[in-house]
Structure 1
Amino acid sequence: MENLNEISKRILTLKRTLNAPRKLVWEAWTEADHIVRWWAPAGMNITVIKHEFKPGGQWKYIMPMPDGSEFISEGIYSEIIPYEKIITTADFKPMTEGVVLHVLFEEEGDKTNFTFSVVHATEEYCKQQEKMGFYNGWGTAFDRMEKYLVSEAGR
């Protein structure tokens, strides 16, 4: 059995305190009409092909690239605790495959502490993903999510 120190070498994590209530942040992650508004980097669009938000349910999103190719995001939900936690497998083809996402939502008044962790198969793969721009790529998507949440919270 792997110890926590070994697992910690395979995880990349981003944390944010979002200026939106936890219910809205949860909806942004769990409802297709919200997902299409922020999942992709700024200037890019995404199409939700499948979104079965339940344990064992599949999700698949496609983002058309400027060169005509498609960036495919897909996975299977393994654990869902409403308003607290989502765990899902994930492939982001052609860049990242075989990872597990852990998304945590913690209420703090009218704000949400949001933790996004990606567990990689090996320490080497984790380091490779970090060098490929993990923090910048996801950071850009979460910047877009944050702007979207602020606009939605103000309605």
Structure 2
Amino acid sequence: MNPDLDLTLQRVIRAPRAAVWSAWTDPSLFEKWWVPAPAVCRVDRLDVRSGGAFVTRLSDDGVDFVPHIDATFLVVDESERIVFTNAIDSAWRPANPAPVPMTAEITLSDHPDGTDYRIVVRHGDPAARARHEELGFLEGWDSVTKQLAVVAESRTTR
């Protein structure tokens, strides 16, 4: 982790790793948490494997959906780690995404209370990191992580 280039978030989710993993890999679950409410997510492609496509759209009204992320999964270690980047789009073409290019690494590990969920978002330069932070990285990723926790935790109480 490079504090000049990276932003991080960590949370304990009170659910087993399998439930958190399912929330990341099942499109119907993923749509429930990926964008901050009250916005709505629609998954176009969620091919969770190394080299797989990651394409979503979002809507503020639930009717009109606009592109949100067009990315590629770089590394997928089942139930342990997901790494994706928006600097390469789902067709494996170099991209210059707005608002910033980034590579995100999500790691899951066992915790006595459930799952230790960690995010590291890497940027190519300090200006991109600062821009992402100014745009509300912590608030946005914290919001969706809380929503992820609700989805994962609800699956363990069935």
Same fold (TM over 0.5): yes
Deviations 1:5-54 (A, max 9, x none): xx431100000011000111011111111101111112221111111111
Query: Residues 136-147 of structure 1 correspond to what in structure 2 (within 5 A)?
Result: 136-147=139-150
Matching residue within 82, 89, 102 for 2:85: 89
Q: Secondary structure at the match of 2:21?
A: helix
2:38 is the alignment partner of 1:38? no
Query: Residues 66-77 of structure 1 correspond to what in structure 2 (within 5 A)?
Result: 66=61, 70-77=66-73
1:78 & 1:148 partners in 2: Cα distance? 25
One-letter amino acid of the counterpart of residue 137, structure 2 = F
Matching residue within 55, 71, 74 for 1:78: 74
2:82 & 2:133 partners in 1: Cα distance? 22
One-letter amino acid of the counterpart of residue 85, structure 1 = R
Instruction: Report if the CA contact (8 A) 2:19-2:153 is conserved.
Output: no
One-letter amino acid of the counterpart of residue 72, structure 1 = H
1:85 positional shift: 0.8
1:55 & 1:16 partners in 2: Cα distance? 25
1:109 positional shift: 3.7
1:85 & 1:122 partners in 2: Cα distance? 24
Instruction: Report if the CA contact (8 A) 1:64-1:71 is conserved.
Output: no
Q: Secondary structure at the match of 2:40?
A: coil
1:77 & 1:89 partners in 2: Cα distance? 7
The gaps in structure 2 that reach 5 residues or longer are 88-95
2:143 & 2:112 partners in 1: Cα distance? 25
Number of matched residues? 149
The answer to which structure has the higher strand fraction is 1
Under a length normalisation based on structure 1, what TM-score does the superposition of the two structures give?
0.87
2:20 matched residue in structure 1 = 25
Instruction: Report if the CA contact (8 A) 1:18-1:146 is conserved.
Output: yes
2:115 matched residue in structure 1 = 112
Q: Aligned residues: percent identity?
A: 23
Under a length normalisation based on structure 2, what TM-score does the superposition of the two structures give?
0.85
2:26 & 2:132 partners in 1: Cα distance? 27
1:77 & 1:148 partners in 2: Cα distance? 22
